[in-house]
C-alpha cells in the first residue's frame, strides 16, 4: 500500500502545470464500453441521468461509426469515419493502435489540439484494444497530447491487468480493495481533480471504464443487485431474422434454455458493473462542486458501441447493423447548455472531437475531421439547421475465410458456445449502412428515418428499415417474405394486406422501392479522398478503357476528363495538397491535346486548399453541374462491369453524382441505319444480286477460324465453384446431395437423421397429409384437432427426416427432384416424398449396411451396394430388388449408372472395378490397378470413360471400349471421396480428405502422366482449390459449367 501511495505521489507531483488563462472551460469525458441505449443500458445509472441528463441535454439518436471497440474509439479520437482513419477492427492488422495508425492518425487526434490550446490533459482507463502490446510500442508509448497518462494494456478487464502509468508498467492483481479497475480509475481521477481549482489552467479529463464489457465482473458490493432482472424481451428477442443476412439466419430459434439463462446472467452483471461507473460520475461532480468549478466544466457521457443479448436469437455480441448495436447514450451538461432537453437529430461519435475543440475555443474544426460540432444544440434558442441528414456506419469483419471460432465468447466464459455460437467476427460479416431522414411529408409530419445497408455477402445482400415505423427492425423492406411462413409474422401480414394506405405509408413504400440500390448507398456515403486509392482507381480505369476494343474505347475516353477533375478537386478539399498535385502531374498529359479543357485545367492547377476550390469559378461550376456524356448501352454496360468488379467506390460515386449519361444507338444499330440510308432498303431482284469475294472478309474469316481452333485446342476454362460448407456438424456428416433442379440440398448424418435445406431464398413447404407413416398415432392425436390449421402448408428453413435406425451413409435425389432415396447402416433403403417430407417406402434386401446409392436417369431404377458384397437393382414401385450383382470378394463401396442406363459400375474394397449389364446382370468389364478401397466412381457424359478413385489417393480413368487404363492422375494427398465430369467431357473434378478440389484436363491430346511418373502432380492438373478445412464430400458439374461441392469442417 505504501508503495502504491509513493507511486501515486510521484504521478501527481511530476505533472502539476499552471496556466495563466482560467476562463476557458474544463472538459470531463466519461466513456463506457459496450453500453447500449436501446435495451435499457442506462437504466441502472440513475445518478448519471440526474446529474448530467436532467441538468443538460440528452441526444436520442447518437450513433457510432462502427459497432466495435477499436474502430469506434479511433473515430472518437480522430473525428473521422472508419474508412478515413483506417482502424477497421480490433487487431494490429486492422490498424488498431498499430505503428502506422500512431504515425498518421494519432498525431492528429483531438488531445494534440487541446494541448495547443493550453489544456492540461488527463487519461485513465481503456484506450485502444492493442495499446501497450509489444508490436504497438509497448507500455512506454504515450500517445501525443496527454500530460497525465494511465492507459490499460490491451482489452477491458476488471482484475489481473497491467497499466502504463506515464510509460511505466504497473501490475494489478485481484484484490477488490485495490485492484478493481473502475475504482482505480475513480481514485486516480479524484487525485487529479484535487489539484485543480479556479486559478489553475483549464483541463481535459477522459475516464474510459471497462464497464460494461466482458467479462462482466461487478464490484463485490454490487454483486447481488438486480437478482430477478432478465435481459429485455423486446420485439426482436428470441425471434428469427428470416429476411436478414446470412449470419443472422444461422442463429438457433428458439434459443436453448442454457443460452437464455446465460444471457440473463450477463445482463444482470452488465448492470452491476455500471453501478460503479455511476458512483464515479457522482464523485466527479461532487469534487467539481466542492472546488467551485462545476459551472465552468462541460461533462460529456457516452459509450463506444451498443450490445445485444438474444435479439434475433443472436447470442451476446455487438457487431451487427441494428439499432441496439449502433446506438449509444450521449449526455452533455456545462456552461451555456440549456438543461432538460431531448435532441432528436442524428449525431455521431465522430462529432465528439470537433465538439471538444469547439468547447476549448478552437476557431474552426481541422479540415481532416469528418465530424461536426454539437455546440449548436447547447442553446435552446438556437435555430441553426443541423448539417447532417445522412450518417454512415461501417463494419469490416475480422479474421479470414477460415474463421477460427468465436473468441469473444470464450472471453465471456460461455462454455456452451460450441452448441449455438454464431461467429459475428466472421470475415464476411462486413457491411456499410446509411441512415437518412427523408424530406418532410407535411409541416406537422417529419419525414421518416430510413436505414439502408449493403452487406458483403455471397450475393451482396441488402437490408432496409423504417426506423420510425418499425423500431425493432423486424421487417426488411429490401426483400419480401413468403406469406404465412411463420406465426410471428401474422400481425405484420394482416397490416400489409390492406388495400388502403395512408399518405405516409405510400410515401415510405415509394421511397423504399426507389432507393434500394447499390448506387444510392454509394451516393449517400462519404468520399474519403484518399490519395492512393484515387490514383489507383483512376489508373485502373484509364488502362481498362485504353485497352478496350472499339467502339467502347472512343466512347469512354471522354469520361476520363471529368473524373480526373473531380478526383483532383476532392483530394484538395480533403486536405491532400501534395498528393493531389502529384496526381495532377501524373495524369494531366492525357488531356494536353484537348483545347476545350485547357482553361479549366490551368485554373484548377493553381488551387491549393479547400477555400481556393470554393472560390474558383471553374471548380465551382464543375462541382455544381453534371458533365454530359453520350454512351451506347453496350459501352455503359462495359464500363459498369469494370466499376463493379473491383474496389472503385470513389469513381463509382462520382459517376453517379456528377456524370449524366445520354444513351445513343448501339454500334450495330447505328451501322445498320447508315447502311440503310446510303444503300436504300427493300427487296432486290435475285438476278441483280452479285456476290463478290471481299479479300478483307476472307482474311477476317480465316482469323476467326484460327481463333476457334486455338480455343478448341487450348486448355479448357476452369469452372466457377460453389461450395457449401457444413459448420458444427456434430451429428457427423456422412453424405451430401443436391437435387437436379438445384433447389434442395440433403445431408445424411451418423445420428440416423436426414436434413433438407433450400438453396434458394424461399423456405421449404411441407404439404400436410392425413397419415404420416413415420408416426405412431393414438386416439388423443385426434382430439381437438383444428382441421383448418392442419390443412395449411407449413414453412420452415430446414426439415429433419427420421425413420432410419442407423447412420445414413448416402442420400440421392430422383431425376425429377420430387423424391429422395437414403441408404443406411440399418440395411434398408428408404424413399422420401419431398412435397410432404415423409417416408413413403422402405426397401429391404441387403443383409448388411448399405454404403451407396445411385438413381438412373430413366425408368424409375436405382441401385444400391452393401457390405454384404453385392449390388442390387431396384424399381421404385417394388419393395424387393429385381437384380443382384455378385462377384466382388469384399464390400461393394460405390455404385454408378452408365449414362445410357444399360450398364452399372461398382467399386469394391477388393480394389477392383466391375461393369455390369442390367439386362442379364453379367460382369462385362473387370478393371484392376488400384492399391486401396475404391470410394468413388464417375462416368463421362458421353459414356466413353469411367473414373475411379479411393484410398490410394490416385484417380484412374478407364477407356470402356477396351477396358484398359486411359490415364492415371496423381496429386491428392489423402483419400478421394468424390468425382465429377464436366458436361463437355473434357474436365474431371475430384475432392476428398485432403480438403482440396482438383480439376484435371483428361483430353486425349494432353500428355500422359507416365512421362512424369516421379512428379508430385500429373501434368493434366489444371488447378487446385483449397476448401480450407472442409472435407470434400460431394462434387457435381451443372449444365452451365458451375461445379457445385459440399463438405464439412
Say which residue the cell 411529408 belongs to: 441
Residue 780 pLDDT = 60
**CATH number of the domain encompassing residue 613:** 1.25.40.500
Whether residues 175 and 84 fall in one domain: yes
Rounded to the nearest integer, the mean pLDDT of the chain is 83
Tell me, yes or no, whether 802 and 653 share the same domain: no
Q: Cell digits for 387?
A: 448539417
How far is it, in rounded angstroms, from Cα 334 to Cα 204?
13
Is 861 a member of any domain? no
Whether residue 577 lies inside any domain: the answer is yes
CATH of residue 317's domain is 3.40.720.10
Indicate if the pLDDT at residue 13 is higher than 50.
no
Structural domain range at position 616: 528-667
Out of 260-274, 429-443, 773-787, least confident range: 773-787
Overall average pLDDT of the 383-397 stretch: 85
Instruction: Please state, in angstroms and rounded to a whole number, the distance separating the CA atoms of residues 550 and 795.
Output: 52
* Same-domain pairing of 117 and 199: yes
With respect to residue 684, please indicate whether it lies within any of the assigned structural domains: no
Using a 10 angstrom Cβ sphere, with 0-12 exposed, 13-18 middle and 19 or more buried, the burial of residue 367 is: exposed
Residue 107: DSSP 8-state: G
Asked whether the predicted pLDDT for residue 296 surpasses 80, the reply is: yes
| Section 572-599 average pLDDT | 84
Nearest to 208 by CA among 73, 32, 79: 32
Task: Tell whether 100 and 204 lie within a shared domain.
Answer: yes
Q: Pick from 919, 920, 923: which is nearest to 906 by CA?
A: 923
Q: What percent of the chain has pLDDT over 90?
A: 50
Residue 632 has a pLDDT of: 86
Q: Is 845 helix (H, G, I), strand (E, B) or coil?
A: coil
pLDDT digits (tens, 9 = 90+) for 516-542: 444 444 444 444 446 777 888 888 888
- The answer to whether residue 177 is domain-embedded is yes
The CATH number of residue 798's host domain is 2.40.10
Among 353, 382, 411, give the residue marking a domain's end: 382
Whether residue 662 is found in the same domain as residue 745: no
Average pLDDT over residues 765-774: 68
Q: Checking DSSP bridges between strand 627-632 and strand 659-664, what pairing results, if any?
A: parallel
Query: What are the angstrom distances between the C-alpha of 685 and each of 153, 162, 678, 690, 965?
Result: 92, 97, 18, 10, 62
How many C-alpha atoms does 718 have within 13 Å on its Cβ side? Answer: 12
User: Is 378 in a helix, a strand, or coil?
Assistant: coil
Q: Are residues 661 and 764 in the same domain?
A: no
Do residues 170 and 147 touch, judged by C-beta distance below 8 A? no
Residue 1037 has pLDDT above 90, yes or no: yes
Q: Report CA torsion sign: 414, 417, 420, 421.
A: positive
Mean pLDDT within 883-893: 94
- Res 366: pLDDT: 83
d(CA 256, CA 263): 11
Q: For residue 755, is it within any domain?
A: yes
Residue 734 catalytic?
Answer: no
Cβ-contact 298, 206 below 8 angstroms: no
Residue position matching grid coordinates 473414373: 947
Within a domain: residue 397?
no
Asked whether residue 1019 is assigned to any structural domain, the reply reads no
Scanning 242-369, the segments in alpha helix (DSSP H) are 246-249, 257-290, 323-326, 352-359
| pLDDT higher than 90, residue 747 | yes
Is-contact 326 64, C-beta < 8 A?
A: yes
> Is 689 a member of any domain?
no
Q: Which of 382, 402, 420 is the last residue of a domain?
A: 382
**Whether residue 753 sits in one domain with residue 641:** no
Q: How many CB atoms lie within 10 A of CB 386?
A: 15
The domain total for the chain is: 3
DSSP string, 783-803: TT--HHHHTS-EEESEEEEE-
Verify that 739 and 661 share a domain, yes or no. no
**Are 647 and 746 in the same domain?**
no
Q: Which three cell numbers stand for residue 424?
A: 459475428
SS3 for 359?
Answer: helix
User: Which region among 650-659, 665-674, 861-870 has the lowest average model confidence (pLDDT)?
Assistant: 665-674
Distance of alpha carbon 960 from alpha carbon 245, whole angstroms: 48
Looking at the fold, whether 237 and 91 belong to one and the same domain comes out as yes
Q: Exposed/middle/buried for 356, CB within 10 Å: 0-12, 13-18, 19+?
A: buried
- 327 phi, psi to nearest 5 deg: -100, 140
Give the model confidence (pLDDT) of 337-370 as tens digits: 999 999 999 999 999 999 999 999 987 778 789 9
Q: pLDDT for 479-522, tens place per residue?
A: 754 433 333 433 333 333 333 444 444 444 544 444 444 444 44
Segment 331-338 shows an average pLDDT of 95
3-state secondary structure of 335: coil
Name the least confident of 364-373, 711-720, 982-991: 711-720
Candidate list 69, 212, 421, 894, residue with the active-site label: 69
Report the pLDDT averaged over residues 100-114.
93
Closest CA to 972 of 946, 999, 996: 996
Cis link prior to 215 (omega < 30° from 0)?
A: yes
For residue 343, what are the β-bridge partners?
A: 59
The answer to whether residues 852 and 821 touch, using CB atoms and an 8 Å cutoff, is no
pTM as predicted: 0.51
Q: What is the dihedral of CA 600, 601, 605, 607, to 10 degrees?
A: 20
Strand positions, DSSP E, 375-437: 390-395, 431-437
Residues 187 and 83 both lie in one domain? yes
- In terms of domains, do 655 and 759 share one? no
Last residue of a domain, one of 382, 409, 444: 382
Cα gap 110→365, rounded to integer Å: 10
Amino acid at each position: 500500500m505504501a508503495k502504491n501511495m509513493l507511486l501515486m505521489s510521484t504521478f501527481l507531483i511530476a505533472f502539476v502545470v499552471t496556466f495563466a488563462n482560467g476562463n476557458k472551460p474544463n472538459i470531463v469525458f466519461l466513456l463506457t464500453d459496450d453500453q447500449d441505449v436501446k435495451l435499457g443500458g442506462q437504466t441502472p445509472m440513475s445518478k448519471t441521468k440526474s446529474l448530467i441528463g436532467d441538468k443538460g441535454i440528452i441526444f436520442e439518436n447518437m450513433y457510432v461509426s462502427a459497432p466495435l471497440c477499436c474502430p469506434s474509439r479511433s473515430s472518437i479520437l480522430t473525428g473521422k469515419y472508419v474508412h478515413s482513419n483506417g482502424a477497421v477492427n480490433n487487431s494490429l492488422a486492422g490498424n488498431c493502435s498499430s505503428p502506422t495508425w500512431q504515425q498518421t492518425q494519432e498525431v492528429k487526434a483531438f488531445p494534440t489540439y487541446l494541448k495547443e490550446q493550453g489544456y492540461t490533459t488527463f487519461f485513465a482507463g481503456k484506450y485502444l484494444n492493442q495499446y501497450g502490446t509489444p508490436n504497438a510500442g509497448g507500455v512506454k508509448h504515450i500517445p501525443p497530447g496527454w500530460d497525465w497518462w494511465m492507459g490499460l494494456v490491451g482489452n477491458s478487464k476488471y482484475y489481473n491487468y497491467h497499466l502504463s502509468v506515464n510509460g511505466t508498467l504497473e501490475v494489478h492483481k485481484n484484490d477488490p480493495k485495490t485492484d478493481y479497475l473502475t475504482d482505480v480509475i475513480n481514485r486516480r481521477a479524484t487525485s487529479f481533480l484535487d489539484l485543480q481549482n479556479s486559478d489553475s489552467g483549464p483541463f481535459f479529463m477522459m475516464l474510459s471504464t471497462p464497464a460494461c464489457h466482458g467479462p462482466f465482473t461487478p464490484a463485490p458490493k454490487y454483486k447481488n443487485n438486480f437478482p430477478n432482472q432478465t435481459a429485455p424481451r423486446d420485439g426482436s428477442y428470441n425471434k428469427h431474422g428470416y429476411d436478414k443476412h446470412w449470419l443472422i439466419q444461422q442463429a438457433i430459434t428458439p434459443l436453448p434454455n442454457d443460452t437464455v439463462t446465460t444471457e440473463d446472467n450477463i445482463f444482470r452483471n452488465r448492470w452491476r458493473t455500471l453501478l460503479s461507473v455511476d458512483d464515479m460520475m457522482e464523485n466527479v461532480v461532487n469534487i467539481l462542486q466542492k472546488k467551485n468549478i462545476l459551472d465552468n466544466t462541460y461533462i460529456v457521457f457516452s459509450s463506444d458501441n451498443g450490445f445485444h443479448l438474444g435479439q434475433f436469437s443472436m447470442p451476446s455480441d455487438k457487431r451487427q447493423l441494428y439499432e441496439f448495436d449502433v446506438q449509444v447514450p450521449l449526455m452533455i451538461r456545462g456552461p451555456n447548455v440549456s438543461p432538460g432537453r431531448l435532441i432528436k437529430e442524428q449525431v455521431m461519435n465522430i462529432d465528439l472531437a470537433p465538439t471538444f475543440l469547439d468547447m476549448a475555443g478552437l476557431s474552426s474544426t481541422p479540415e481532416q475531421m469528418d465530424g461536426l460540432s454539437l455546440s449548436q444544440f447547447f442553446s435552446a434558442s438556437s435555430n441553426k439547421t443541423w448539417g447532417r441528414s445522412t450518417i454512415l456506419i461501417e463494419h469490416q469483419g475480422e479474421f479470414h475465410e477460415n474463421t477460427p471460432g468465436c473468441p469473444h465468447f470464450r472471453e465471456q466464459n460461455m462454455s456452451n458456445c460450441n452448441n449455438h455460437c454464431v461467429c459475428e467476427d466472421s470475415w464476411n460479416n462486413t457491411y456499410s449502412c446509411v441512415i437518412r431522414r427523408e424530406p418532410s411529408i407535411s409541416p406537422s409530419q417529419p419525414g421518416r428515418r430510413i436505414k439502408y445497408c449493403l452487406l458483403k455477402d455471397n450475393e451482396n445482400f441488402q437490408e432496409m428499415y423504417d426506423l420510425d415505423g418499425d423500431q425493432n427492425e423486424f421487417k426488411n423492406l429490401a426483400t419480401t417474405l413468403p406469406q404465412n411462413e411463420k406465426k410471428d409474422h401474422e400481425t405484420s401480414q394482416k397490416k400489409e394486406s390492406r388495400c388502403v394506405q395512408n399518405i405516409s405509408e405510400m410515401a415510405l413504400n415509394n421511397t423504399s422501392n426507389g432507393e434500394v440500390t447499390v448506387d444510392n448507398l454509394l451516393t449517400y456515403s462519404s468520399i474519403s479522398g484518399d490519395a492512393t486509392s484515387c490514383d489507383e482507381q483512376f489508373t485502373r480505369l484509364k488502362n481498362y478503357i485504353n485497352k478496350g476494343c472499339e467502339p467502347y474505347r472512343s466512347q469512354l475516353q471522354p469520361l476520363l476528363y471529368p473524373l480526373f477533375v473531380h478526383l483532383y478537386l476532392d483530394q484538395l478539399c480533403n486536405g491532400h495538397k501534395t498528393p493531389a498535385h502529384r496526381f495532377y502531374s501524373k495524369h494531366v498529359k492525357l488531356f494536353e491535346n484537348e483545347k476545350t479543357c485547357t482553361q479549366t485545367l490551368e485554373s484548377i492547377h493553381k488551387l491549393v486548399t479547400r477555400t481556393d476550390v470554393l472560390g474558383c469559378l471553374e471548380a465551382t461550376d464543375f462541382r455544381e453541374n453534371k458533365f454530359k456524356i453520350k454512351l451506347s448501352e453496350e459501352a455503359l454496360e462495359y464500363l459498369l462491369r469494370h466499376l463493379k468488379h473491383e474496389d472503385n467506390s470513389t469513381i463509382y460515386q462520382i459517376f453517379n453524382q456528377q456524370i449524366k449519361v445520354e444513351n445513343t444507338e448501339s454500334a450495330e444499330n447505328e451501322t445498320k441505319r447508315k447502311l440503310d440510308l446510303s444503300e436504300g432498303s427493300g427487296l432486290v431482284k435475285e438476278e441483280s444480286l452479285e456476290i463478290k469475294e471481299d479479300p478483307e472478309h476472307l482474311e477476317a474469316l480465316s482469323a476467326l477460324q484460327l481463333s476457334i481452333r486455338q480455343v478448341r485446342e487450348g486448355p479448357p476454362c476452369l469452372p466457377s465453384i460453389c461450395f457449401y460448407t457444413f459448420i458444427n456438424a456434430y451429428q457427423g456428416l456422412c453424405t451430401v446431395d443436391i437435387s437436379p433442379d438445384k433447389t434442395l440440398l440433403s445431408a445424411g448424418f451418423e445420428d440416423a437423421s436426414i436434413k433438407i435445406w433450400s438453396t434458394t431464398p424461399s423456405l421449404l413447404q411441407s404439404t400436410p397429409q392425413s397419415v404420416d407413416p413415420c408416426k405412431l398415432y393414438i386416439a388423443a392425436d385426434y382430439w381437438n384437432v383444428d382441421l383448418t390449421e392442419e390443412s395449411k402448408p407449413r414453412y420452415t428453413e430446414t426439415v429433419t427426416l427420421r425413420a432410419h435406425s442407423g447412420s445414413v451413409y448416402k442420400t440421392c435425389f430422383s431425376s425429377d427432384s420430387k423424391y429422395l432415396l437414403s441408404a443406411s447402416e440399418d440395411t434398408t433403403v428408404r424413399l422420401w416424398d419431398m412435397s410432404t417430407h415423409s417416408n413413403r417406402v422402405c426397401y429391404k434386401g441387403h443383409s448388411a449396411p448399405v454404403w451407396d446409392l445411385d438413381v438412373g436417369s430413366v425408368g424409375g431404377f436405382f441401385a444400391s451396394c452393401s457390405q454384404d458384397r453385392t449390388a442390387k437393382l431396384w424399381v421404385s414401385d417394388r419393395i424387393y430388388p429385381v437384380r443382384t450383382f455378385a462377384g466382388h470378394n469384399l464390400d461393394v463401396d460405390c455404385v454408378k449408372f452408365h449414362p445410357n442406363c444399360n450398364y452399372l459400375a461398382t467399386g469394391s474394397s477388393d480394389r477392383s472395378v466391375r461393369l455390369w449389364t442390367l439386362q442379364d446382370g453379367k460382369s462385362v468389364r473387370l478393371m484392376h490397378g488400384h492399391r486401396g478401397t475404391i470410394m468413388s466412381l464417375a462416368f463421362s457424359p458421353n459414356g466413353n470413360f469411367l473414373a475411379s478413385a479411393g484410398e490410394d489417393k490416385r484417380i484412374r480413368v478407364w477407356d470402356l471400349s477396351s477396358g484398359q487404363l486411359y490415364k492415371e492422375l496423381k496429386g491428392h494427398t489423402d483419400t478421394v471421396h468424390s468425382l465429377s465430369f464436366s458436361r463437355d467431357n473434357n474436365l474431371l473434378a475430384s475432392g476428398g480428405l485432403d480438403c482440396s478440389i482438383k480439376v484435371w484436363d483428361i483430353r486425349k491430346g494432353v500428355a500422359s502422366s507416365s512421362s512424369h511418373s516421379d512428379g508430385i502432380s500429373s501434368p493434366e492438373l489444371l488447378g487446385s482449390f483449397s476448401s480450407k478445412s472442409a472435407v470434400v464430400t460431394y462434387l457435381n458439374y451443372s449444365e452451365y459449367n458451375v461445379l457445385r461441392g459440399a463438405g464439412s469442417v
